[in-house]
């Protein structure tokens, strides 16, 4: 059709009344003839269409978002047409098919459940801390007891996809919370309320072991238990009053026992002092007796030694010495009377008769 139009314009031009081309390259039908559009088709339209196509693709990609980014401490659960993939997506960039596939982000960091009797603030799952009412159970006699706990746990990243597939996204409300309450109920039910404070450490260990065993026994180990801390045991008011009375009675008994022990110590101290004084006196008396005995023994030994040394010749010598003194006395006083000891032993005795008193006595 374009060639027919060109033939038409060339024919008009050859007849002299046709259009002439203006300086801009267009054709005109004379000085006052109308301008005709340029019918030369170029590539401008194709470029614009290509740009529009690229922009449309970018818009579709942005709106459809065929990728997802998983951060550390998270796992991605890929769902294809509503069916979860067996393996969870690791941290990083992952591309998906829009509309057909979808990724659900789950947290694998440590999470905390506080079981408290007083809830000061409401904690949400976003910060990893959940606050729930204290666990209220019955003791061995049927008395109500409230237990405050702190449970730390985290989702098992290895089996995150299976856990979400089996338990759903509220898996901790179906696993952790029921297990904690069931284990606490079984443990506390074995004790009487009055004995709970004294058995606190044993009870805490039994609760942790029971919760850990129950969670780990589940298929694919959906959760990893970090720790279980027993914070408080809240007893009924009557039980608390009874325990306080028992404690006061025990304190009184202990105080009395301490007084008895103190009295015993004082008595033992006085007895020890008395024994010390008696022992001192006995030692002193014994010392004096020993001294007298030693002196007597010494004198006896001396006498024995002297007796052994008195021989007949020595006695004769002593008698001669005394006889010499007698002779001297007779020369001075002829009235002196001499009394000889029997057997001629010495010493002999003489009496001066000039002394009236001695003379009377001698008679």
Same-domain status, 213 and 132: yes
Same-domain status, 52 and 129: no
Which of 246-260, 296-310, 323-337 is least confident? 323-337
Residue 25 lies in a domain: no
Mean pLDDT of 241-268: 81
Check residue 291 and give its pLDDT: 87
Sequence-ordered alpha helix ranges (H) in the chain = 2-14, 44-64, 160-167, 171-174, 176-188, 200-216, 237-309, 312-332, 356-362
Residue 29 lies in a domain: no
CATH code where residue 195 lies: 3.30.479.30
Residue 28 lies in a domain: no
CB burial readout 121-142, b (16+ within 10 A) else e: eebeeeeeebbbebbbbebeee
Same-domain status, 203 and 259: no
Condensed to tens digits (0 to 9), the pLDDT of residues 101-131 reads 888 888 889 999 999 987 654 455 557 888 9
* Contact (Cβ atoms closer than 8 angstroms) between residue 139 and residue 192: yes
Helix (H) or strand (E) holding 105: strand 101-107
Check residue 23 and give its pLDDT: 40
Same-domain status, 91 and 195: no
Number of domains in the chain: 4
Same-domain status, 156 and 207: yes
Residue 5 lies in a domain: no
41 versus 312: the higher-pLDDT residue is 312
Mean pLDDT of 288-309: 82
**Which pair of structure tokens corresponds to residue 30?**
């004379």
Domain boundary among 206, 235, 264: 235
Residue 223 lies in a domain: yes
Domain boundary among 282, 309, 336: 309
Same-domain status, 180 and 220: yes
Check residue 138 and give its pLDDT: 92
Condensed to tens digits (0 to 9), the pLDDT of residues 36-46 reads 445 444 556 77
Percent of the chain topping pLDDT 90: 21
Residue 200 is part of which domain span? 111-235
- Structure pTM? 0.53
Q: Which residue reads 């009412």 in tokens? A: 133
DSSP class per residue in 9-48? HHHHHHTTSS-EE-TTS-EESSTTPPP-------SHHHHH
Same-domain status, 129 and 98: no
CA 302-304-310 angle, to 5 degrees, is 105
Same-domain status, 177 and 255: no
Length of the chain: 363
Check residue 303 and give its pLDDT: 77
Does residue 324 carry a pLDDT above 70?
Answer: yes
Residue 9 lies in a domain: no
Q: Are strands 101-107 and 337-339 parallel, antiparallel or unpaired?
A: unpaired
Same-domain status, 177 and 274: no
Mean pLDDT of 77-99: 86
Same-domain status, 101 and 118: no
Angle, helix 200-216 to helix 176-188, in steps of 10 degrees = 140
Residue 325 lies in a domain: yes
Residue 180 lies in a domain: yes
Q: Which of 226, 233, 123 is nearest to 176 (CA)?
A: 226
**Which residues share a beta bridge with 347?**
none
91 versus 304: the higher-pLDDT residue is 91
Check residue 308 and give its pLDDT: 73
Domain boundary among 87, 106, 125: 106
**Which residues share a beta bridge with 107?**
74
Same-domain status, 152 and 53: no
Check residue 353 and give its pLDDT: 55
Same-domain status, 120 and 230: yes
């Amino acid at each position: 059709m374009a060639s027919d139009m060109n033939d038409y314009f060339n024919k008009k031009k050859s007849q002299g009344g046709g259009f002439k081309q203006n300086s801009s390259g267009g054709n005109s039908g004379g000085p006052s003839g109308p301008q005709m559009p340029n019918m030369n088709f170029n590539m401008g339209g194709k470029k614009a269409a290509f740009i529009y196509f690229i922009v449309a693709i970018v818009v579709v990609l942005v709106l459809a978002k065929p990728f997802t980014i998983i951060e550390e401490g998270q796992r991605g659960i890929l769902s294809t047409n509503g069916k979860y993939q067996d393996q969870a997506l690791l941290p990083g960039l992952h591309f998906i098919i829009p509309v057909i596939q979808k990724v659900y982000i789950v947290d694998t960091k440590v999470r905390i459940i506080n079981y408290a009797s007083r809830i000061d603030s409401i904690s949400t799952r976003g910060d990893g801390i959940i606050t729930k009412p204290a666990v209220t159970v019955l003791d061995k006699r049927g008395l109500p007891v409230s237990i405050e706990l702190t449970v730390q746990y985290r989702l098992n990243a290895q089996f995150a996809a299976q856990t979400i597939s089996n338990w759903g996204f509220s898996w901790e409300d179906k696993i952790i919370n029921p297990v904690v309450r069931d284990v606490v109920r079984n443990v506390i039910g074995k004790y009487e309320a009055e004995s709970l404070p004294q058995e606190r450490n044993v009870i805490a260990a039994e609760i942790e072991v029971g919760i850990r065993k129950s969670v780990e026994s589940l298929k694919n180990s959906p959760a990893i238990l970090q720790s279980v801390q027993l914070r408080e045991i809240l007893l009924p008011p009557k039980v608390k009053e009874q325990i306080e009375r028992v404690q006061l009675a025990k304190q009184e008994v202990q105080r009395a026992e301490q007084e008895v022990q103190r009295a015993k110590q004082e008595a033992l101290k006085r007895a020890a002092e008395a024994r010390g004084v008696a022992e001192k006196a006995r030692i002193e008396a014994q010392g004096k007796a020993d001294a007298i005995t030693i002196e007597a023994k010494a004198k006896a030994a001396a006498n024995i030694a002297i007796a052994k040394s008195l021989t007949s010749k020595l006695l004769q010598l002593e008698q001669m010495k005394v006889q010499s003194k007698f002779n001297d006395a007779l020369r001075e006083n002829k009235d002196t009377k001499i009394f000889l000891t029997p057997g001629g032993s010495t010493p002999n005795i003489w009496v001066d008769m000039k002394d009236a008193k001695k003379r009377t006595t001698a008679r």
